[in-house]
């Protein structure tokens, strides 16, 4: 029999968050072992259930939500997204500019597929949420990583971004608040990025899926609100802020100067039509969520469950010799650094395997986020304080053995 090979389009595509180390963890669970999972931002899986209001409306809407909708989505939830854009000072958005999707993920893939030809380049942060690198590669484009600087709280390095612009650069991606670093970008940084996009006529892809998951009273600014004259595609959804990852409810907003983008928008519409529509119950949940008041706000406020877990994870990790962490201002993650002198890690996937095998703790290695050196990992601080204390205690024990090898 002829071997059935995967498409060569997948040659440069990876998604380590659900990669081989997770397969190993699943196998261990099948054998009856209990694993502490610090690997995925699956909020509802940690007892942080979605708001009642959303669940009750999903149940109520379900019998009437079995039909296809318009490809971009139902009018009322798209209108709710328009109102959300108004709250965030994104100018000139109409219902026609809003696309609903099965999570933001589907729309992120659509936006790159509709844009890129072979050799087109997209600037993507390093570290990144690896979907961006994967979908740019799958769309035939070339991901080009710009550096985010740990020394300045993981801010994008504008000089590096600028140095990496070429005649083939079509767009830049910013993830704000950031996964995996938890950084939240101040207005001045956003303004610098807008200026760069303006100068080189780049599209801005802005991922704002954690825009309500903010600690210490921080405020989020949508980059699109600073860029009326630049084409911006902003991605958001219910997965994180409304603890509803499984409802697969996301949206994309096209804003800014659309006059030169008619053809691209036609491409977006074509791809939206080809997947028919986003799931209808999820679309209806968007309307309920944005009209209601039950976001993640109480959990991230001082003393709230997520704020306490962030503080605890930060304090425990920074007590481990050779571990340093930038305290996240937002989102659900931290990206600790392991001093390479103390921990001379050659292969960080192997490091994650060994941690899993020895201590039954699952993390994702830093290179899985397109970080170039094997000296970081991502930790999700969603488990409750008991589990977090246990997990970080096990990481500390593992690192102690690692140092003494």
Binding site residues, ligand PLP, CB under 6 A: 41, 103-105, 129, 175, 179, 207, 209, 237, 239, 245, 250
CA dihedral sign, ordered 276, 69, 84, 265: positive
The nearest distance, CB 177 to ligand PLP, in angstroms, is 8
Max CA pair span of the chain: 62
Query: Among residues 114 and 206, whose Cβ is nearest to ligand PLP?
Result: 206
The nearest distance, CB 359 to ligand PLP, in angstroms, is 24
The residue nearest ligand PLP at its CB is 103
As a whole number of Å, the end-to-end CA separation of the chain is 47
Query: Among residues 105 and 399, whose Cβ is nearest to ligand PLP?
Result: 105
The nearest distance, CB 105 to ligand PLP, in angstroms, is 3
- How many Å apart are CA 364 and CA 16, to the nearest integer? 7
Query: Among residues 69 and 105, whose Cβ is nearest to ligand PLP?
Result: 105
The nearest distance, CB 25 to ligand PLP, in angstroms, is 18
How many beta carbons lie within 10 A of that of residue 203, not counting itself? 21
Query: Among residues 39 and 402, whose Cβ is nearest to ligand PLP?
Result: 39
CA dihedral sign, ordered 157, 174, 210, 136: negative
- How many Å apart are CA 44 and CA 323, to the nearest integer? 29
Query: Among residues 105 and 367, whose Cβ is nearest to ligand PLP?
Result: 105
The nearest distance, CB 67 to ligand PLP, in angstroms, is 23
The two tokens of residue 53 are: 């209001």
- How many Å apart are CA 124 and CA 145, to the nearest integer? 5
Query: Among residues 221 and 320, whose Cβ is nearest to ligand PLP?
Result: 221
Query: Among residues 101 and 374, whose Cβ is nearest to ligand PLP?
Result: 101
| CA-only gyration radius of the chain, Å | 21
3-state secondary structure (DSSP) of residue 181: coil
The nearest distance, CB 115 to ligand PLP, in angstroms, is 18
Burial 139-177 (b: 16+ CB within 10 A, else e): bebbbbbbbbebeebbbbbbeebeebbeeebbbbbbbbb
The nearest distance, CB 404 to ligand PLP, in angstroms, is 35
3-state secondary structure (DSSP) of residue 165: coil
């Amino acid at each position: 029999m002829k071997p059935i090979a995967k498409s060569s389009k997948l040659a440069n595509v990876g998604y380590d968050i659900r990669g081989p180390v997770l397969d190993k963890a699943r196998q261990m669970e099948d054998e009856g072992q209990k694993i502490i999972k610090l690997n995925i931002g699956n909020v509802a899986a940690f007892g942080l259930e979605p708001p009642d209001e959303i669940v009750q409306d999903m149940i109520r809407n379900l019998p009437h939500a079995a039909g296809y909708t318009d490809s971009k989505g139902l009018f009322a939830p798209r209108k709710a997204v328009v109102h959300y854009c108004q709250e965030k000072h994104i100018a000139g958005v109409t219902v026609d500019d809003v696309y609903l999707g099965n999570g933001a993920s589907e729309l992120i893939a659509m936006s790159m597929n509709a844009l890129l030809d072979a050799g087109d380049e997209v600037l993507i942060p390093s570290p990144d949420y690896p979907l961006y690198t994967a979908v740019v590669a799958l769309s035939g484009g070339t991901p080009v990583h710009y550096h985010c600087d740990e020394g300045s709280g993981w801010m994008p390095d504008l000089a590096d971004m600028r140095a990496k612009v070429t005649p083939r650069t079509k767009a830049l991606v910013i993830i704000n608040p950031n996964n995996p670093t938890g950084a939240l970008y101040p207005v001045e940084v956003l303004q610098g990025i807008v200026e760069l996009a303006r100068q080189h006529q780049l599209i801005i892809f802005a991922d704002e899926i954690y825009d309500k998951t903010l600690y210490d009273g921080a405020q989020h600014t949508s980059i699109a609100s600073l860029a009326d004259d630049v084409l911006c595609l902003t991605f958001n959804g219910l997965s994180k802020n409304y603890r509803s990852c499984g409802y697969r409810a996301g949206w994309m907003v096209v804003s800014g100067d659309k006059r030169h983008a008619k053809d691209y928008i036609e491409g977006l519409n074509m791809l939206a039509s080809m997947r028919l529509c986003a799931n209808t119950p999820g679309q209806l949940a968007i309307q309920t969520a944005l009209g209601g008041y039950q976001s993640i706000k109480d959990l991230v406020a001082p003393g709230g469950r997520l704020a306490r877990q962030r503080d605890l994870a930060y304090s425990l990790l920074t007590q481990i010799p050779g571990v340093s962490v930038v305290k996240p201002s937002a989102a659900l993650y931290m990206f600790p650094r392991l001093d390479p002198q103390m921990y001379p890690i050659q292969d960080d996937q192997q490091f994650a395997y060994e941690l899993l095998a020895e201590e039954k703790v699952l993390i994702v290695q830093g290179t899985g986020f397109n970080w170039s050196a094997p000296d970081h990992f991502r930790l999700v601080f969603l488990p409750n304080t008991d589990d977090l204390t246990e997990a970080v205690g096990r990481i500390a024990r593992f690192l102690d053995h690692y140092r003494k090898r």
